[in-house]
């Protein structure tokens, strides 16, 4: 797995006018969000880049969007660690994804995202037991 930082960029509406078009091609930028007073004024920025995820003015909505996207990213990273057989790192990423889903997003155990994470954690546990007892 390559070591690459993933940036979740949060900016004001005024700053976004310049940054979204000038920096959206940067490889390390995973997602961009605009937090501003006038959502309608800056809403058009969403169409300027696929990395531009949302324009919002409610703090709680911003936290939820980022937590949701981050939990998906953590899951994807954990899968790559499973493929490279680094089970300890995979488990760390899965544990953090699960924490975000439960605590920040308020997902219950029946949510599809929670089930995916728990299924992969169960696979890791089974693999670890197989290695320990073989």
pLDDT digits (tens, 9 = 90+) for 42-84: 988 888 888 899 999 998 889 898 999 999 999 999 998 988 8
Query: Which one, of 6, 62, 60, lies nearest residue 33 by Cα?
Result: 62
Contact 106, 125 (CB under 8 A): no
Count of CB atoms situated within 10 Å of the CB of 61: 13
| Beta-sheet strand order (sheet of 7-11) | 7-11, 29-35, 52-56
pLDDT of residue 130: 55
89: Cα within 13 Å, side-chain hemisphere: 13
Output the average pLDDT for the chain: 86
Q: Which two tokens stand for residue 92?
A: 């760390």
Two structure tokens written together for 128: 């670890």
Q: How does residue 134 score in pLDDT terms, banded at 50, 70 and 90?
A: very low
**pTM value > 0.75:** yes
């Amino acid at each position: 797995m390559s070591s690459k930082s993933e940036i979740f960029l949060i900016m004001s509406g005024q700053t976004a006018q310049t940054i979204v078009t000038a920096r959206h091609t940067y490889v390390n930028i995973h997602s961009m969000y605009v937090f501003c007073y006038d959502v309608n004024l800056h809403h058009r920025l969403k169409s300027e880049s696929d990395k531009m995820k949302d324009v919002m003015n409610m703090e709680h909505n911003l936290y939820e969007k980022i937590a949701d996207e981050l939990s998906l990213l953590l899951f994807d990273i954990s899968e790559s660690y499973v493929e490279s057989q680094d089970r300890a790192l995979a488990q760390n990423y899965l544990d953090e994804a699960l924490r975000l889903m439960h605590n920040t997003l308020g997902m219950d155990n029946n949510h599809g995202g929670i089930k995916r994470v728990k299924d992969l954690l169960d696979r890791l546990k089974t693999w670890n037991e197989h290695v320990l007892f073989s």
